[in-house]
Amino acid sequence: MTNTLCLSLITLITLFISLTPTLIKSDEGIDVFLPISLNLTVLTDPFSISAASHDFGNITDENPGAVLCPSSTTEVARLLRFANGGFSYNKGSTSPASTFKVAARGQGHSLRGQASAPGGVVVNMTCLAMAAKPAAVVISADGTYADVAAGTMWVDVLKAAVDRGVSPVTWTDYLYLSVGGTLSNAGIGGQTFRHGPQISNVHELDVITGKGEMMTCSPKLNPELFYGVLGGLGQFGIITRARIALDHAPTRVKWSRILYSDFSAFKRDQERLISMTNDLGVDFLEGQLMMSNGFVDTSFFPLSDQTRVASLVNDHRIIYVLEVAKYYDRTTLPIIDQVIDTLSRTLGFAPGFMFVQDVPYFDFLNRVRNEEDKLRSLGLWEVPHPWLNIFVPGSRIQDFHDGVINGLLLNQTSTSGVTLFYPTNRNKWNNRMSTMTPDEDVFYVIGLLQSAGGSQNWQELENLNDKVIQFCENSGIKIKEYLMHYTRKEDWVKHFGPKWDDFLRKKIMFDPKRLLSPGQDIFN
């Protein structure tokens, strides 16, 4: 009975929506109606508009004119062709062509409105993934790849893959991000040193370009589009399907956090471990900082050790946490203890401060979900997040550490959130992709993941980010920002450096009217 009622309600709403022309803002600033004849499932109710207007960053708020909830990829192509200057219908009369902005939105976990389309149309990619069900994730017969609807969250890719005993090889720390969203940036984490970012593990893509053309691309087929879109910040097309590389899935993980009071030993061990990509090396490597002027989270450690961990942090003011994981299953069980034993004997950590948990593979990959639940319960998830993510050349990491960590962070009266600090290998990245990295074999991923809870003002935290950037600038440390948001063209030109001309050329080729992902502020 309830189901029937719900269905009738949805039918009525859909009918109402389909009979009501939708008002959006054109690039020229005039009101444009989306004609009913386009047959698009657009939503303009306050809830849908508000949900599409902000993101995880909780700093920007940009209302779109409408949200497209597509049930097929052809609907997206139709919208984009119309956005390129189909006839607009101004209060009944047909006027010359107008263009308007369109942005794909995966999970909206951007930080500064990158998935917004002020006045234009936000394409809700979750709708497409839902419409594709049960074929949103299709594992190939031989288990070597998965064809995935781009609006699918990585956690659902993982679930579908492990059911078949396989798994993607490289992950972000948090899995409730869409495939299309992370492929538009890079998708980095603790497996990147071994397998590269997520963009290095894609065989093929279906993309609807800014002109509304549906194209399949791969390293061999339309390679300009393929490499452009990977890390392309949504500028060239909307990814609708991605073919993701898979490998055998392990079942369990030895997950360690190993504490260092000495930065040189921490750095030396991290860099040595990422150079070991054979069977005896680790499968995952990250690192983070525990500082006495911040919240010291000891929940990973056994209850009986939590007090001495907290004391170690207080005594040294800063402790470097090496985080490594080694996967195993029944076949690799014999070597797992050997690897852990070798780590405990050869690494230069603070004696007695190596802790190992043994957890299922799924739980390990999904570990940040627990943090999310904790923060949500404290009301600290939906707060402003002025995050700064940067890649620092390996050759300057000591200077960065001395200037930024010792000089700036430890001198704050308090710090907030998590600070990530780990190296990765550049040889796993393909320079033809759009993402920018420092020009060195080893570079560090630094994440100042600050959150402004309570009365704290996010601008104050942002000041710290500015100081970090300024310090690098003044010291000649050639960092590259990740998940960045620049508003000045010169900053984008500097960011892309030698790739800028190519980026611009692809924009003209695939999205000449500059309609896509305007929230990135690259071509506005």
Binding residue (CB under 6 A) for ligand FAD from 343, 442, 483, 484? 483
Estimate to the nearest angstrom the gap between the alpha carbon of 207 and the chain centroid.
Answer: 19
Please check if 104 is assigned to a binding site.
yes
Backbone angles phi, psi at 300, to 5 degrees: -70, -30
CA distance 270 to 347: 9
Region binding ligand FAD by CB under 6 A among candidate stretches 40-48, 77-85, 109-117, 220-228: 109-117
Query: Could you tell me if 131 and 72 are in contact, meaning their C-beta atoms sit under 8 angstroms apart?
Result: yes
Binding residue (CB under 6 A) for ligand FAD from 114, 167, 209, 424? 114
Binding residue (CB under 6 A) for ligand FAD from 52, 66, 115, 343? 115
Residue 173 among the catalytic residues: yes
Give the residue with the Cβ less far from ligand FAD, 187 or 294.
187
For residue 134, cis peptide bond before it (omega within 30 degrees of 0): yes
31, 173, 213, 363: which one is catalytic? 173
Residues of span 489-518 touching ligand FAD by CB under 6 A: 517
Query: Could you tell me if 122 and 52 are in contact, meaning their C-beta atoms sit under 8 angstroms apart?
Result: yes
Give the residue with the Cβ less far from ligand FAD, 178 or 288.
178
Q: Six-digit token pair at 508?
A: 């003209």
Contact between 150 and ligand FAD per CB under 6 A: yes
Q: For the CB of residue 225, give the shortest distance to ligand FAD in the complex, in Å.
A: 12
109, 195, 385, 401: which one is catalytic? 109
Q: Six-digit token pair at 450?
A: 């600050």
Give the residue with the Cβ less far from ligand FAD, 27 or 55.
55
Give the residue with the Cβ less far from ligand FAD, 186 or 390.
186
By CB atoms closer than 10 A (0-12, 13-18, 19+), residue 90 is: middle
Residues of span 23-62 touching ligand FAD by CB under 6 A: 55-56
Q: Six-digit token pair at 34?
A: 């989306």
Please check if 97 is assigned to a binding site.
no
Give how many residues touch ligand FAD by CB under 6 A: 36
Q: What is the DSSP letter of 198?
A: G
Give the residue with the Cβ less far from ligand FAD, 147 or 309.
147
**What distances in angstroms separate CA 140 from CA 144, 247, 332, one per listed residue?**
6, 12, 25
Give the residue with the Cβ less far from ligand FAD, 178 or 256.
178
Closest CA to 242 of 179, 170, 153: 179
Query: Could you tell me if 27 and 98 are in contact, meaning their C-beta atoms sit under 8 angstroms apart?
Result: yes
Which residues, in sequence order, are CB contacts of 216 under 8 Å at separation 6+?
204, 205, 206, 207, 222
Where do the H-state alpha helices sit in 121-245?
125-132, 154-163, 179-183, 192-195, 223-229
Specify the 3-state DSSP secondary structure of 60: coil
Please check if 344 is assigned to a binding site.
no
Binding residue (CB under 6 A) for ligand FAD from 520, 521, 522, 523? 520
Q: For the CB of residue 401, give the shortest distance to ligand FAD in the complex, in Å.
A: 21
Give the residue with the Cβ less far from ligand FAD, 112 or 349.
112
115 CB neighbour count, 10 Å cutoff = 29
Binding residue (CB under 6 A) for ligand FAD from 234, 386, 394, 423? 234
Give the residue with the Cβ less far from ligand FAD, 114 or 437.
114
Specify the 3-state DSSP secondary structure of 90: strand
Residue 248 among the catalytic residues: no
Please check if 114 is assigned to a binding site.
yes
Region binding ligand FAD by CB under 6 A among candidate stretches 11-19, 231-239, 247-255, 341-349: 231-239
Residues of span 166-195 touching ligand FAD by CB under 6 A: 172-174, 177-178, 180-182, 184-189
Please check if 228 is assigned to a binding site.
no
The sign one gets for the Cα dihedral 502, 504, 509, 515 is: positive
348 CB neighbour count, 10 Å cutoff = 14
Binding residue (CB under 6 A) for ligand FAD from 108, 196, 386, 403? 108
CA distance 488 to 466: 15
Site mask for ligand FAD (CB under 6 A), range 125-144, x = bound: x-------------------
Contact between 388 and ligand FAD per CB under 6 A: no
- Strand order in 42-43's β-sheet? 42-43, 66-68, 121-124, 102-105
| Residue tagged 């992370």 (tokens) | 182
* Helices and strands (DSSP H and E) totals, the chain: 17, 22
Contact between 124 and ligand FAD per CB under 6 A: no
Please check if 482 is assigned to a binding site.
yes
Please check if 108 is assigned to a binding site.
yes
- Extract the annotated binding site for FAD: 104, 106, 108, 110, 114, 173, 178, 184, 188, 239, 482, 517, 520
Would you tell me which residues interact with ligand FAD (CB under 6 A)? 55-56, 103-110, 114-115, 125, 150, 172-174, 177-178, 180-182, 184-189, 233-234, 238-239, 483, 517, 519-520
Active site residues: 109, 173, 286
